[in-house]
Amino acid sequence: MKKINWKKNVATLMGMVCALSCTVANVDTNATPMVNAASITGTIEDVMNTAINATKEVSAIETNSKYNMTSTSRAVDAVPHYRNVGKRSSQNYNKIIDQFNVAKNPRYRVTNGSTWCNIYAWDVMRAMNVPFSHWIANGKPLTYKEAKKTKGAYECGVTRHLKWLNTYGSKYGWRKVSANEAQKRANKGYPTLVMNTSGTHIAVVRPETSKYKYSTNNPVISQAGAYNVNYGKVKTYFGTTNNLVYWTHE
């Protein structure tokens, strides 16, 4: 995993502060003062806060050089290139979703009539670093390796995902929301899902773009299934905006 070089970031920050301090120190003392001490202090604080916030933003994404997101052993966890381990934002959420290249990835390709909407949802949620019910035992989400060692562990399809969310979702940070709130949450980078109440399909609600915009009860999604699309709309791929349920993670 890629580690944040805190020493380098601190050095950069100190350099920025030093440069500002030197500029202030070289002001002509015979000239009419243009700024006061309070404004100088405020400027230094602004520079420091900007650098700190930039560091936090970078540290929100963890990078793994030994990734595998194309394996067709679908019961086994995909190993993502990027994981969201800190601040959530639309940029970070998009980066997590886009890395799976759902439209072309052989992992999600229809195989002998089987579709993989649940596998894609699982992959994205794991890369967003949130618990989700692909392998579970006594309601607890597990990795494939953990499931192999756990008595009573079983694999979930969409029907079981829905049951798990209804039964255990709140325990693991999930809550049910409207279609409108689902889009707003996704726009802010919060992991969000949509599924039909019949338990036959699931998709990832993702941030809007200038081309793909929310309309009444019709959020923007990314999905695997009979059609694998990185951007689409709920009504197009679920065939309706009725009898759907949305979940978002805190």
**CA 209, 211, 213 angle in degrees (round to 5)?**
65
**Average pLDDT for residues 25-42, to the nearest whole number?**
50
What is the average pLDDT score of the chain? 86
- Judged by DSSP in three states, 232 sits in strand
Identify whether the C-beta of residue 191 lies closer than 8 Å to the C-beta of residue 249: yes
Q: What is the mean pLDDT of residues 99-114?
A: 97
Q: How far apart are CA 230 and CA 223, in angstroms?
A: 6
Q: What is the pLDDT of residue 38?
A: 55
Angle between helices 117-127 and 158-168 (to 10 degrees): 40
Least confident residue range of 33-47, 199-213, 229-243? 33-47
pLDDT at 158: 95
The gap between the terminal CA atoms of the chain, to the nearest Å, is: 25
Quote the pLDDT of residue 18. Answer: 45
pLDDT at res. 32: 47
Tens of pLDDT, residue by residue over 139-152, are 999 999 999 999 99
d(CA 192, CA 179): 10
What confidence category does residue 75 fall into, taking pLDDT thresholds of 50, 70 and 90?
very high
Helix (H) / strand (E) containing 249 = strand 244-249
Residue 88 scores a pLDDT above 70: yes
pLDDT on residue 184? 98
**CA–CA gap between residue 125 and residue 119 (Å, rounded):** 10
- 3-state DSSP assignment of residue 233: strand
Residue with the larger pLDDT of the pair 177 and 14: 177
pLDDT for position 25: 40
Residue 10 pLDDT greater than 80, yes or no: no
Average pLDDT over residues 111-125: 97
Q: Which residue has the higher pLDDT, 33 or 167?
A: 167
| Res. 47 pLDDT band, cuts 50 70 90 | low
Q: Quick check: 176 pLDDT over 80?
A: yes
Q: What is the DSSP letter of 218?
A: B
Alpha helices, DSSP H, located in the chain: 6-25, 37-59, 90-98, 117-127, 144-148, 158-168, 179-187, 234-238
- pLDDT band at 48; cut points 50, 70, 90: low
